[in-house]
Every structure is written in C-alpha cells, then in structure tokens.
Amino acid sequence: MKILIVHTMTPFQRTETDELAARLEKALIIAGHESEALRIPFQWEPADRITSQMLMVRAFELWNVDHVIAMGFPAFLIRHPKKTLWVLGYEHGHDLIDGNGVVNRPPDGEASELRMLIRNAENESFRESRRILVGAETTRQYLLEHNQVDAKVLVPPAGGADSRGDWSPIIEVLLR
C-alpha cells in the first residue's frame, strides 16, 4: 500500500512531529508498505496569512496514494478518501497562539472570525476523515470540548529518532 504521511513544518526548525513522522515512515517501509512524508510549510504568524496557508493545503489533490495519515493543523485539511488523522498536541490553534506560546492576535473582530474559520475547516476535515486519533488524553478532551469530536487515544512508541519501538499495533490502528 502507498501511504503518505502529511504534516506541517516551520522552515528551518525540527520538531517532535518531524521526528515521529520520520520514524513512522521507516516503520511503514519495514512493514512492507511504500511510504513518504510530505512536510507542508506553515506558520501561525502573521495571522493574516493563516487563511491562505489553509487554502493551499485544502487545494492539494493527491493521486497515486492509497492512504493518507495527516498529523497536525493545517495538514489534516488535505483531502483524500482514505485519510486518518493523528493529532498530536493541539491546544494552541483556537487561541491563535503559536507552538512557542507567542500570542498572534489579529485586530479584535478579525480574531474571532479567524478562530471560527479555523474551527469550521477543522470540523469539515474531521467529518471527511476515516479515523481521528490523538496522541494524549488531554488532546482528546480538547477536541471533545472544542469540536465535539470523540477521538481515540493512540500514544506513539517511546524512543528517539533511531528507536524502532513497537510500531506493529500502531500501524494496524492507523490503517484501519
């Protein structure tokens, strides 16, 4: 099966999600699948560019891919008939705070409009996904409270970039 792992990245920064996506890609290949990771550039600031970045991701059309595993906003806005979301820590989007805790608020009226746009796009993406998984109970609670989505917790295997961990049960859940 051809599996594409889609996640966002900030240029010239490496995150835990980058590391996890690389480990997942390796594990999928070891399990006999063809796999690649697609890193989509995204930044929370300036706030007036968030909408265009969301639209860019939404406009992607993926062909020759059997399954998509999308990790993080706005990567999970990508359209595909066999898409699984694996949301790893997702509390900052609605408050327009970036991953480093920096407040990124547009002028008053625009902030609530942008929050609503983000939530509507998320909810549409959640509805069209086959599965919604989260990396922690706190993220599950957050999505339940803010999006009325009851996701299943799927904790990534422990270990660093070179650690294989036990990926078999995780791959099985991701590809269901």
Please report the domains of the chain, with CATH numbers, ordered by start residue.
2-174 (3.40.50)
Express each pLDDT in 92-141 by its tens digit: 455 554 444 444 556 666 777 888 888 899 999 999 999 999 999 998 99
Q: Is 115 exposed, middle or buried (0-12, 13-18, 19+ CB in 10 A)?
A: middle
Provide the whole-model pTM. Answer: 0.87
Q: Give pLDDT, residue 100.
A: 47
Report the pLDDT value the prediction gives residue 5, as an integer from 0 to 100.
97
pLDDT < 70 stretches in the chain: 90-109, 159-165
pLDDT, position 95: 52
Rg (Cα) of the chain, in Å, rounded? 16
What pLDDT score does 13 carry?
Answer: 86
Look at residue 93 in the predicted model and tell me its pLDDT: 53
Question: Is the CA virtual torsion 159, 153, 74, 168 positive or negative?
Answer: positive
Q: How far is CA 83 from the centre of its chain?
A: 11
Whole-number Å distance between alpha carbons of 88 and 73: 10
Q: What percent of the chain is modeled with pLDDT above 90?
A: 56
Residues 130-133: contacts with CB under 8 Å, at least 24 apart: 130/82, 130/83, 130/84, 130/176, 131/84, 131/85, 131/173, 131/174, 131/176, 132/84, 132/85, 132/87, 133/84, 133/85, 133/86, 133/87, 133/173, 133/174
| Residue spans of alpha helices (H) in the chain | 16-30, 50-59, 108-128, 137-147, 168-174
